[in-house]
A = this chain, B = another copy of it.
Amino acid sequence: MSLPSGYSIRELKASDHTNGILDVLSGLTTVGTVTANAFESIFKQWSTLKLSNGSNVYNPLVIVDSNGKVVATGMVFIEEKLIHSGGLVGHIEDIAVDSSQQGKSLGKFLIKELSLIAKRSGAYKVILDCSESNVKFYEKCGYKEAGVEMQIRYD
């Protein structure tokens, strides 16, 4: 499994604010206003949070095309628990692929890399929540149904 020629995957950078990531995320959900300052502040906050073992809590990735433009993004953050002998759990969040980039398996590549980051951090499992219509996609990525997501919204 590989990326199309000229595409590459890397960690998110503070300078990616103007690189198309917000456009890509807006295909997923409401992005709202995220100024360059707010972007940098969130990025900085993410970067400072560490686990007991020194690994990063937040691990945001982007796939960029040959022009350096963000065409896909995803996050895995790591939770530190008491259970499972002080175990770690990866949470995959906010997976988005630009609508013009379908059919290139960018989402699958991203999920594989995010899962690996969690595994290397020492997580005993990685979880994510998705809609019923995306279950088949995540099964192709090696995921299995594990439960029901419940929510209360305050917005």
Contacts and interface: CB of A to CB of B under 8 A. Distances in A.
Interface of A: 21-22, 25, 28-34, 38-39, 41-42, 45-46, 49, 51-52, 57-58, 77, 79-87, 91, 93-94, 115, 119, 123-132, 135, 138-139, 142-155
Given A42-B82, A125-B155, 8 more contacts: A31-B85, A41-B52, A42-B86, A49-B49, A124-B154, A130-B148, A144-B150, A146-B149
7 contacts: A22-B82, A28-B83, A41-B52, A41-B86, A77-B79, A125-B151, A128-B150
Number of this chain's copies in the assembly equals: 2
A151 B76 CA distance: 13
